[in-house]
Amino acid sequence: MRRAVKRPARRGRRWLALLLAAALLAAAGGGGYAALLAAFPLEYRAEIDPAADDNGVERALLYAVAHTESGFDPAAVSEAGALGLTQITPETFAWLQTKTGEALPDEALFEPDVAANYAAVFLRLLLDEFGGDVQTAAAAYHAGRGQVNRWLADARYSADGERLDTIPSRATAHYVRKVRRAMRIYEVLYEKELVDNG
């Protein structure tokens, strides 16, 4: 069963994304649009689109995660042992399978459909846990739920205990910026393609 995607108000985000895309096109110089399309492709659409739709996650977010995590390399392995297109660790994969009821081997993460689906399952859980806030959910995808909950409990990083105002880890803050930037670019470049017509 497909879950409905909660779409935030777009007007402010749309202008910001358009400005960002325009700046990137200007920086790319001649052939800028083609270069931007090449840098932010819609790879693995047959796997990513249904995974996002079935789990009620914005397609642009799932593309942004795959782009940021592996550059769309289904054979990627990180130094931390994260695997596949969406760089999920075996420990997280095992935990997610307690939610889905599956029992897949770690190597299944090298299959793009499995990687996309489990990233979407994970993102849906994180968005639900963190009130739909993409920044906080992305931080948890990178640093872990436990770490983000510790940051949320610290008034230095969260005024309300629900959203991160400041991300104290440089690596996680950089990761979140990259995901949010990629998400905005995908929204601008592929506005029609990212709409669920199902």
Cα four-point dihedral sign 4, 54, 191, 134: positive
Beta-bridge partners for 88: 83
Per DSSP, helices labelled H in the chain are 11-28, 32-39, 45-55, 59-70, 90-100, 112-129, 134-143, 145-152, 170-189
Alpha-carbon torsion, ordered 146, 147, 148, 151, to 10 deg: 120
Residue 179 identity (one-letter amino acid): V
Told to judge if 47 belongs to the known catalytic residues of this protein, a careful annotator would answer no
- Out of 58, 69, 79, 162, pick the active-site residue: 69
- Known catalytic residues are 69
